[in-house]
Amino acid sequence: MARTNDFALAYAAAHEEAGMTRINLAPILHRIGEDPNYLFGEELLALAGHCPAHGDTRKEDFEKVAINALLGHLYTDLREHIVARMPLDESGRLVLATPPDSPHGLDIGDAAGLAAADPDRMVGFLRDAVCHLLDAIIKEWAIKLMVEEDRCRSEGTITPNAASVFVLARELQKSVLHGPSGYDMLSITKTGSHTALHVCWNLVEAAPMLRPGLEDAAYDDLARRSLKQVLPLAMGSLGMLCQFMAAGRIEADDHQAIHPLRSDQSAFLYDGDKDLIVLNADLIEPTAMAGERHYTGCPAFYANGLINLYMEIVLALAAQYGIYGRLQETAGAKTEP
């Protein structure tokens, strides 16, 4: 019988201690699937029918539930779009392009230069390249949805995706949380994509750091099995996620996803009894904004297989470019007298 994810229990308890109640978006998404007209109702905008936990619940909590539910609904289509548009060569290898203005000074077409690159530099370059790839695919997806909404307006018809795009744009425009910064569906999705890729890269890079001496296939298996241990981060609030990442030194000061995992990180641990990489529950601290009473978790968590897809993309790149072996060489060099 599988052992309980101790981090998940501690993480949920910390949210409760911070005064927050989780609203599970799965039943809301099921309701939308059964009756797309629910998208236009008032209930979705009122915590989807949940009673406020406190009288002083802030307006942002109401927005959060509606916006994340709408994104969660659309992200099933996003996953399908990424799978369909992922560029692969004849041998099934992922095709990347050199990122514009990359700080790493590498060229994806220069095999000798890539082979000679310092491992951390190479990992940073791959992180940068895959973020740009996903940005382009996400932009294409957003345009596709906006074209669908425009077509529905012209024809006087409606589809569930077009309805979600319309309501989402309306709610984001008047949002206290997102309106002032100009965040829209595209920018939110790109940011979330970068965060997901960043955490997946961290897990992959942690494997040889915490468990040296394994073969590539064993690292691939260890990282893939350990993903379930990391998923609780996607189930919590944004504030708690940021707190944990800062405490574990896995978030750079500039908040970009292109930085390799630091050798002094403390967020990931190796559990020899479980043979898994786990998260360090000792770093959790109850964190909430004033008046923040509800959280939903990341919308991508509710799109079946989306986070797993990001993990598979990172695992594929790690295998293609021999990242596990290169990182072990770095670790060995650092430990030599």
DSSP characters for 236-285? S-HHHHHHHHHHTT-S-TT--TTSPPPTT--SEEEETTTTEEEE-GGG--
Q: What is the amino acid identity at position 289?
A: M
How many residues make up the chain in this entry?
337
Three-class secondary structure of residue 321 per DSSP: coil
Q: What does the alpha-carbon distance between residue 186 and residue 138 come to, in Å, rounded to a whole number?
A: 7
Q: What does the alpha-carbon distance between residue 107 and residue 21 come to, in Å, rounded to a whole number?
A: 47
Q: What is the amino acid identity at position 151?
A: R
Residue range 29-57, pLDDT digits in tens: 999 999 999 999 999 998 888 876 566 77
Helix (H) or strand (E) holding 332: helix 323-335
Residue 328's beta-bridge partner residues? none
**What is the structure's pLDDT at 330?**
66
Report how far apart, in Å, the C-alpha atoms of 81 and of each of 77, 90, 143, 149 are: 6, 20, 12, 17
Residue linked to tokens 């795009």: 165
H helix intervals, 86-184: 111-116, 119-155, 160-173
Please report which confidence band the pLDDT of residue 178 belongs to, taking 50, 70 and 90 as the band edges.
confident
Residue range 276-311, pLDDT digits in tens: 999 999 999 999 998 899 999 999 999 999 999 999
Q: What does the alpha-carbon distance between residue 160 and residue 228 come to, in Å, rounded to a whole number?
A: 30
Report how far apart, in Å, the C-alpha atoms of 171 and of each of 29, 68, 69, 107, 179 are: 17, 11, 12, 41, 9
Nearest 10 degrees: Cα torsion 22, 28, 29, 32: -160
Q: Is the pLDDT assigned to residue 186 strictly greater than 80? A: yes
Residue linked to tokens 């629910």: 38
Q: ∠ CA 136-140-145 to the nearest 5 degrees?
A: 145
| 229 burial type by CB count under 10 A (0-12 exposed, 13-18 middle, 19+ buried) | buried
Q: What does the alpha-carbon distance between residue 239 and residue 191 come to, in Å, rounded to a whole number?
A: 15
Write the DSSP symbol of residue 299.
G
**What is the structure's pLDDT at 305?**
94
For the chain, helix, strand, coil in percent to 5 are 60, 5, 35
For residue 55, give both structure tokens.
């009288």
**What is the structure's pLDDT at 2?**
38
Query: Where are the domains positioned within the chain?
Result: 6-335
**What is the structure's pLDDT at 239?**
95
Residue range 248-283, pLDDT digits in tens: 999 988 889 999 999 999 999 999 999 999 999 999
**What is the structure's pLDDT at 52?**
64
Residue range 70-115, pLDDT digits in tens: 999 999 999 999 999 999 999 999 999 999 988 888 999 999 999 9
Residue range 159-173, pLDDT digits in tens: 999 999 999 999 999
Q: Rounded mean pLDDT of 205-216?
A: 96
Residue linked to tokens 């996803």: 257
**What is the structure's pLDDT at 83?**
97
Phi-psi region of 35 (alpha: psi -120 to 50; beta: other; left: phi over 0): beta
Strands 21-22 and 294-295: parallel
